[in-house]
Amino acid sequence: MAARGDPRRLHRLVQEGRLCALREELRGAGRAGCAGPAGDTLLHCAARHGHRDVLAYLVETWDMDIEAANRDYKRPLHEAASQGHRDCVLYLLGRGAAVDCLKKADWTPLMMACTRKNLEVIQDLVEHGANPLLKNKDGWNSLHIASREGDPLILQYLLSVCPTAWETESKIGRTPLHTAAMHGCLDAVKVLLQRGLYGADRADRCGCTPFMDAIQCGHTAVARLLLEQHKEGHVSTVQELLSLGADINSRDERKRSALHLACAGQHAACVRLLLQSGLSDSPDASGALAGQLAHRADVLQCFGHCPAS
């Protein structure tokens, strides 16, 4: 059995939220400043597990430092924000916790909060002065992270606070739209297209556009939306994908090919290029051929059909 005041026992009591037992244990030990294996204090543990009453007891009775950092430089506010524990976030902010403190790799509590779909916590941090435009070591800001998670309400809120955030780039030139497209976040892509002025050829340092990211990752609904939004300019993108060795015969979960996608978007130049590259028309899971999705005269002509006069 662990001795009174043993750090492992204390951390377990905090993790389980057993405040009465913790009080008794700490009175007997006469100290609360023990660190866990990763350098976590009891405050880190309380914030991570969402025990506001334990958090308040440790701060107010034992005068524990709310700015204590563990080995990754995480502070209790990082822990509470990353887990979406609003009551703990508000308590720490109310006690004067630094809202834009940095952990390892320069992540702020707001960035951590954006990994969770908890709008209220994000709003609380911003209203207490958190800066959504701060960047981590990779050049990502909070909008990039929120775009990866794909919650449209969070994106709308961040863009209302920082209307120009849509155009920010990471260190390798990737925008929030690149991130949302790569992760297949259709609703996020819709918001970003509505709020931002993205061009079809907006490429990162490697030459990848959001459309290319969506195609390469198999997110055909996102690719279709981008194609419809930017009717022109995607022939060069398709050529680039083919030159990089992209599988021209790849299908999505509904067995639709790139040819289905181009036909649905009524993009004649892309249809022509795909057919010339050797992609043959074949049915999807519902039995529909790509050519059956063609309506415009120039698209129909790619299949040798003459539109009715």
Check which CATH number belongs to the domain holding 300 and give it: 1.25.40.20
The predicted structure's pLDDT at residue 309: 44
Last residue of some domain: 115, 133, 151? 133
Query: What is the number of domains present in the chain?
Result: 2
132: closest CA among 117, 118, 142?
A: 142
**pLDDT value at 50 more than 60:** yes
**pLDDT value at 121 more than 80:** yes
Domain shared by 119 and 222, yes or no: no
Domain shared by 216 and 119, yes or no: no
Within a domain: 201? no
158: closest CA among 121, 185, 186?
A: 121
Instruction: For residues 184-195, give the mean pLDDT.
Output: 96
If one compares 26 and 248, the residue with the highest pLDDT of the two is 26
Domain shared by 115 and 231, yes or no: no
**CB contact set of 246 (below 8 Å; sequence gap of 6+):** 215, 216
The predicted structure's pLDDT at residue 204: 93
Within a domain: 285? yes
Domain shared by 230 and 110, yes or no: no
Residue 99 to residue 174: CA distance in whole angstroms: 26
**Residue owning tokens 């690149």:** 178
Q: Are 130 and 100 in contact (CB under 8 A)?
A: yes
Instruction: For residues 106-114, give the mean pLDDT.
Output: 98
Residue 146 to residue 117: CA distance in whole angstroms: 8
- Domain containing 3: what range? 1-133
Instruction: For residues 143-170, give the mean pLDDT.
Output: 97
Last residue of some domain: 77, 112, 133? 133
Within a domain: 194? no
Dump pLDDT digits (tens) for 68-100: 999 999 999 999 999 999 999 999 999 999 999
Within a domain: 241? yes
Domain shared by 115 and 17, yes or no: yes
The predicted structure's pLDDT at residue 1: 39
Q: How confident is the model at residue 141 (pLDDT cuts 50, 70, 90)?
A: very high
Last residue of some domain: 96, 118, 133? 133
Within a domain: 139? no
Within a domain: 47? yes
For 237-261, what is the HEC assignment?
A: HHHHHHHCCCCCCCCCCCCCCHHHH
